[in-house]
Amino acid sequence: MHKHLYRAFLTYFFLSISLLAIAERKQTIEAAALSGQWKGPLKVPGGSLDLVVTVVPLTNGTFYAALDVPQQKISRMPVEVQLQGDEVTFRIEQAGSRFTGKLAAGGKQLTGTWQQPGLTTPIVLQHAVASAPMAKRLTRLTPPYREDEIVFPNTVAKLRLSGTLTVPAGPGPFPAVALLSDTGPQDRDAALQEYRMFGMLADFLTRRGIAVLRFDDRGVGKSGGTYASTTTADFVTDAQAAMAFLRSRNLIDPQHIGLIGHGEGANVALLAAAQPQPQAPAFVISLAGYGQPGRDVLVRQQVEIMRLIGADAAQVKAALDLHERMVDIIRQTPNDAQARGKVAGIIRLNNMDIDPVMARARAAQLTSPWSRYFLDFDPTLKLAEVQCPVLVLNGTADLQVGVQNLAILQKGLKNNRDLTVRKLTGVNHWFQPPSSEWPLVNGQQQPAFSPKALETMRSWIVARSAKSKATSAAKIRSTLFGSKDTQKLSQ
């Protein structure tokens, strides 16, 4: 096996289960100096690839970082950030790649070298503080709805979460949704370069009569808490806290508060829906939700990345065998200290060049609360307890959550009396249509949320809200006039 490929296979497992890219602050370079997006062309045989590295300082003094390569449909590939003196290193182990450089031009450039299997080339990354897309900036000039910066408590976790509540114009009360993000620490807009997935979704729904609450993940932006120590189950309490906040607002209809979750957030929403009332949502929309167990999701994602970097069948098998060894050790060793020692030993045995400190750090990631929970997480176990209406949407172009998850979720929810399942052709994991369908803004194509997905969600929510109101009215009439009138109304 090629040395670089083997190293990429070995390290993929660690990075795929922990999207946190952590680095200690150094006095020589403040966190703010790296915050934002670093963009530049990577020269490759036959042309160039536009690279975007996004670095987000977290409230606990660490970083979350990710790589995007739009031409290769790569998004949010985990990046490790290392600061040594005035030298900055980005390690992208999934691709067996590394950037090493220094800040230049008054902190506006990172000048250095990019290395990956078979390629070493100079590169300059330009700094840009992430800005809102043109469409969003224009709508902010005269928003046709109320928009409030809010803070709400999670009394279970003893922390406060910060977000934005958008409420339609008019007297109300309005149906409402809280948005739940995918894996990895994300801001309230679920920002990905110029694409604000949750910002666009909130704007669309609020303009059409549905209030929306979106909030920063734990440890991101203005929200408290620490993301790294949080499990999928812990995020359920954040969802419940968001719904409790919405119920307290005068303009929100407390009987029509639902959850829209993306990726892991979809599974969080379904777990919340499996809880007894009054904590459960009135409805759930799952966007790219997982049906497969966590460990199977990781295997599939690993195989996709290995194919991307040109691995053959033998190399894939070797990497998956190593993956299974790691999983077995973690699941059979409940003591974190012992598990970390065993895993670190295997890491060094299979990659003698790795730094011992890095091996221990990766072993710690593997045994983190989130990682342990996700490895054993089977999203189908609680689906039979979900009684509220559910809309399940997945895209055929999703490389992270295969469309086969639709059938698994549908089977798990087979006893649900109001289930809608839709497969969206050409839509990717971020619910974008093919780039050829993106709108032109100032002569350039801008990423967009799938119009079909947006309208499907809007019409589905409105229909459920109307149905629920009709049912409530029937119950009131039954109380006042007797069961015969109710039977007539229901016919």
Q: How confident is the model at residue 139 (pLDDT cuts 50, 70, 90)?
A: very low
Looking at residue 237, what is its pLDDT? 97
Question: Among all chains, which residue has been given the structure tokens 């987000």?
Answer: 56
Looking at residue 244, what is its pLDDT? 97
Question: Among all chains, which residue has been given the structure tokens 């499990």?
Answer: 231
Domain-wise residue ranges, the chain: 3-128, 134-289+380-478
Looking at residue 8, what is its pLDDT? 52
Fold (CATH) for 3-128: Lipocalin (2.40.128)
Residues in the chain: 491
Distance CA 181, CA 261 (A): 6
Report pLDDT digits (tens) over 79-109.
Answer: 878 766 678 888 876 666 788 888 887 778 8
Looking at residue 411, what is its pLDDT? 96
Q: How confident is the model at residue 174 (pLDDT cuts 50, 70, 90)?
A: very high
Q: How confident is the model at residue 475 (pLDDT cuts 50, 70, 90)?
A: low
Residues 6+ apart with CB under 8 A from 326: 13, 343, 346, 366
Question: Among all chains, which residue has been given the structure tokens 């909030």?
Answer: 215
Q: In 10 A of CB 4, how many CB atoms?
A: 16
Report pLDDT digits (tens) over 428-453.
Answer: 999 999 888 888 777 777 889 999 99
460 SS3 class = helix
Distance CA 370, CA 383 (A): 21
Distance CA 360, CA 352 (A): 13
Looking at residue 81, what is its pLDDT? 80
Report pLDDT digits (tens) over 208-236.
Answer: 999 999 999 999 999 999 887 889 999 99
Looking at residue 478, what is its pLDDT? 62
43 SS3 class = strand
**Looking at residue 26, what DSSP letter applies?**
B
173: its two tokens: 């009360």
Looking at residue 135, what is its pLDDT? 44
Mean pLDDT of 184-200: 89
Lowest mean pLDDT among 133-142, 230-239, 392-401: 133-142
Report pLDDT digits (tens) over 35-79.
Answer: 788 888 888 777 788 888 888 766 555 667 778 777 666 767 778
Looking at residue 58, what is its pLDDT? 61
What is the residue type of 90?
A: F
Q: What percent of the chain is modeled with pLDDT above 90?
A: 42
Q: What percent of the chain is modeled with pLDDT above 70?
A: 79
Distance CA 87, CA 98 (A): 13
Distance CA 479, CA 376 (A): 47
Question: Among all chains, which residue has been given the structure tokens 């009394």?
Answer: 155
Mean pLDDT of 127-146: 60
Backbone φ/ψ region at 214: left (φ over 0), alpha (ψ -120 to 50), beta? beta
My answer on whether omega of the bond before 173 falls inside 30° of 0, hence cis, is: yes
Distance CA 46, CA 265 (A): 39
Mean pLDDT of 8-12: 49
Looking at residue 354, what is its pLDDT? 67
Question: For residue 176, what are the β-bridge partners?
Answer: 211, 257
- Count how many Cα atoms sit within 13 Å of the Cα of residue 429 in the half-sphere of its side chain: 21
Mean pLDDT of 331-341: 90
pLDDT at 28 over 70: no
The larger pLDDT score, comparing residue 107 to residue 191, is at 191
The domain at 134-289+380-478 falls in which architecture? 3-Layer(aba) Sandwich (3.40)
Looking at residue 363, what is its pLDDT? 81
pLDDT at 309 over 70: no
